[in-house]
Amino acid sequence: MNILWLQSAGCGGCTMSLLCTQTPNLFDLLGDAGLEFLWHPSLSEQTGAEVRQLLAGIEQGEIALDILCVEGSILTGPRGSGKFQILSGTGRAMLDWVQSLAPLAKHVVAVGSCAAFGGVTSAGGNPAGAIGLQYDGAHPGGALEAAFRSASGLPVINVAGCPTHPDWVTETLLLLAAEELALSALDALARPLFYAENLVHHACPKNEFYEYKASAEQHGQLGCMMEHLGCVGTQAVGDCNIRGWNGGSSCTRAGYACINCTAPEFEEPQHPFSQTPKFAGIPIGLPSDMPKAWFMALASLSKAATPKRLSENAVADRIEITPSIRNPKS
C-alpha cells in the first residue's frame, strides 16, 4: 500500500515525533508491512514538477491512492477560499487539494490534533480559519463534511495528539495495511481505540500520590499534579504512561501535567495549563467517569489516611522518606 503525506498548517512536530519510531526504525517497519511513501514533503526526494506530476496522476486516476495522511490543520481563510495556504508550486489551496484527494483515497488519516480537530493552530481567535479534516473543534464537519467516508467506508481516522505518539501513527498504518481497522475499532471521535480506550492516568508513576490525594504544590515536586498544577490525566485518553515515549517517558513522568492534547479544543482551556481551576477550593475538572459527590467523599477519606511518607514526599523534589521495611513474622 502507498501513502501520500501532506503537511498543512502546523509545526511539523508529528513528523518529528514519527521519526522517533524505534526498533525497528520507521522505514524498516513500514517497508516490512508493504507500506511505502508516494511522497512525504520532509522525507521524500521528489520536489517541484515531480510532485505536481504525481498529484495530477492521482487526481486523474492514473495512480491509486491507498492512504492519504494529512498533518496540520486546514486553513479556510480568507472567506472560505483557503488561499491563506497554497500548496507550493501548484497555485491551489491546500483546502482544495484535500477536498479533491480525500474521496480518491482508500483511507484518510488525520495525523495529530491539528489535522483532527484544528488544534493549536485554531487558537487565539483563529483568524486564519484553521479547522480539522472532519471536525471543527469538537463539532463534526471540517474541511470534509461530517458524512464523508473514504473508499473503505471509514470516516477520517483521527490519530490525535500534540504531537501524536509515533507508535499511534505506525500502528494505525499497519492495521490499515492488514485491513484490520474497522469502524468498531474507533471511538466516538474516530480515534483508534488501541490507545483511546486508556486514560493517561493509567500507569502514571504518581498514582499512589493520587490515591491518597497527596498533592504537589509547585512544579518539580513529586506529588500528584491534579489538585493544584492543572493535570487532567484522569480525563484524557491515551496510553502515554503505558506505552511511554522515547524509551519510556511521558509528560507526567517528566513532572509536567497532562493537558489532554488528544482531545478537541484542548488548546484553549480558559485557564493556564499549569493551574487547576477551582470553585470554593474544589477542583472543577474531576475524573470524567466518577460522580462528583463520590469523589469528594473518597478524597476526604484518602487525605485523612495519607501516610507521612506520601504527604512529605509529595511536596519534595526527591524521595525524603523511603518505604518502611516490614519485619517478617516469626
pLDDT per residue of the chain (330 residues) written in tens, 0 to 9: 999 999 999 999 999 999 998 889 999 999 999 999 999 999 999 999 999 999 999 999 999 999 999 999 999 999 999 999 999 999 999 999 999 999 999 999 999 999 999 999 999 999 999 999 999 999 999 999 999 999 999 999 999 999 999 999 999 999 999 999 999 999 999 999 999 999 999 999 999 999 998 999 999 999 999 999 999 999 999 999 999 988 889 999 999 999 999 999 999 998 999 999 887 777 777 776 677 776 777 777 888 889 999 999 999 999 999 998 888 876
CB atoms near residue 20 (< 10 Å):
15
| Fold adopted by 2-194 | Rossmann fold (3.40.50)
**CB under 8 A, 24+ apart: contacts of 185-191:** 186/154, 186/155, 186/157, 187/237, 189/116, 189/135, 189/158, 189/160, 189/264, 190/116, 190/134, 190/155, 190/156, 190/157, 190/158, 191/116, 191/158, 191/159, 191/160, 191/237, 191/262
pTM exceeding the 0.75 threshold for the entire prediction: yes
**What is residue 330's predicted lDDT score, i.e. its pLDDT?**
64
- Domain with residues 198-313, CATH architecture: Irregular (4.10)
Q: To 5 degrees, how large is the angle CA 175–CA 14–CA 225?
A: 100
**What distance in Å separates the CA atoms of residue 181 and residue 224, rounded to the nearest whole number?**
36
Could you say which DSSP state residue 169 is in? H
CB atoms near residue 241 (< 10 Å):
25
CB 184 within 8 A of CB 191: no
240 closest CA partner among 161, 174, 185: 161
**What is residue 185's predicted lDDT score, i.e. its pLDDT?**
98
Sign of the CA dihedral 176, 182, 187, 188? positive
Alpha helix positions (H), the chain = 13-18, 26-32, 49-59, 94-101, 113-117, 166-177, 193-196, 207-211, 240-243, 292-304, 308-314
**What distance in Å separates the CA atoms of residue 185 and residue 124, rounded to the nearest whole number?**
33
Residue 232: which region, alpha, beta or left (left: phi > 0; alpha: psi -120 to 50)? alpha
Whether cis (ω within 30° of 0) applies to the bond prior to 140 is: no
CB atoms near residue 198 (< 10 Å):
18
In angstroms, what CA-CA distances link 218 with 208, 225, 276, 288? 18, 9, 12, 24
Strand partners, 191: none
Per the listing, cell 464523508 goes with: 148
Domain 2-194 identical in fold to domain 198-313: no
- Grid coordinates representing 101 are 484527494
Per-domain boundaries in the chain: 2-194, 198-313
Could you say which DSSP state residue 211 is in? H
3 closest CA partner among 63, 48, 90, 73: 63
213 closest CA partner among 236, 197, 231: 231
Sheet architecture: strand order including 105-111: 36-39, 2-7, 65-71, 105-111, 157-159
Strand partners, 186: 192
**What is residue 284's predicted lDDT score, i.e. its pLDDT?**
75
**Virtual CA dihedral for 116, 121, 127, 129, nearest 10 degrees?**
-20
